[in-house]
Amino acid sequence: MTHYTELQLDALRELANIGSGTASTALSGMLGRSVDISVPKAQALPFAEAVEAAGDPETEITGIVLGITGDMEGTVLLLVPPADADAMCRMLGVEPDDEFALSALGEIGNIVGTSYINALAGMTGIEIEPTPPATATDFLGAIVESVLAGAAASSDVALMLDSNLVVEGDDCAISFLLVPDQGGVQLLLERLGLS
């Protein structure tokens, strides 16, 4: 079992806080609305518990995933309830059943995820880049476990940095998960002087 100290989790939470702050500013600019962020959670969980920590496995959810490549490997996953995804499409002037709806969502993910990743890179001095976004609407469990599988090879514990962005007025929420692989967590902690 990989253990993280409270101090390390606090530092990672602070990273997530700054990252999601930057992401919320980007989302706000894109949608033309103000966006609130919740206090992020940093959790190190066995894989069996990690999916449930993200939500009910059989809830239908829209997931937008961006890979992270470079000094640190990992994944950024944005989870949006389908009704909220529809609402955000409308804010961008795209009808949810339009053929462009998926690319509009992908673009939201791209901008929000990229600003998060860039903030992370800026704070820690590591060079990382996002891969293009991919979108799917399905069981939450299926989406989250497929993302966690990438980190499962090298670790028994998933580190999940979880924030919520809430778009004011329309009550839509994006939940934001950063899942670095095992080596990625070590690198982040090293750069924070907490390894």
Partner 1 sequence: MSALETMVRMGELAVSSEPGHVLVSLGLGSCIGLGLIDRRMSIAGLAHIVLPESQGQAAKDNPRKFADVAVPEMLTALEELGARKVRLEAVLVGGASMFAVPSAGLEVGQRNEAAVRELLEAQRIPVVAAATGGSRGRTVRIDVASSAVTVREAGGKDEELLAGSGVLEVVA
Nearer to partner 1, 103 or 118 (CB): 103
Nearer to partner 1, 64 or 174 (CB): 64
CA 53 to chain centre: 14
Annotate each residue in 127-156 with x if it binds partner 1 (CB under 8 A) or - if it does not, as one string. ----xxxxxxxxxxxxxxxxxxxxxxx--x
Pseudo-torsion of CA 116, 122, 123, 128, nearest 10°? Answer: 70
Distance CA 186, CA 183 (A): 5
Min separation Cβ 169 and partner 1, Å: 29
Interacting residue with partner 1 among 10, 36, 49, 98 (CB under 8 A)? 49
Min separation Cβ 39 and partner 1, Å: 27
Distance CA 15, CA 114 (A): 15
Nearer to partner 1, 1 or 99 (CB): 1
Residues 57-86 that bind partner 1 (CB under 8 A): 57-58, 60, 63, 65-67, 69, 73, 75
Residue 39 binding partner 1, by CB under 8 A: no
Min separation Cβ 77 and partner 1, Å: 10
Per-residue H/E/C for the chain: CCCCCHHHHHHHHHHHHHHHHHHHHHHHHHHCCCEEECCCEEEEEEHHHHHHHHCCCCCEEEEEEEEEEECCCEEEEEEECHHHHHHHHHHCCCCCCCCCHHHHHHHHHHHHHHHHHHHHHHHHCCCEEECCCEEEEEEHHHHHHHHHHHHHCCCCEEEEEEEEEEECCCCEEEEEEEEECHHHHHHHHHHCCCC
Residue 48 binding partner 1, by CB under 8 A: yes
Residue 186 binding partner 1, by CB under 8 A: no
Min separation Cβ 15 and partner 1, Å: 21
Nearer to partner 1, 61 or 166 (CB): 61
Nearer to partner 1, 39 or 149 (CB): 149
Instruction: Report the interface residues with partner 1, using CB under 8 A.
Output: 1, 46-52, 57-58, 60, 63, 65-67, 69, 73, 75, 131-153, 156
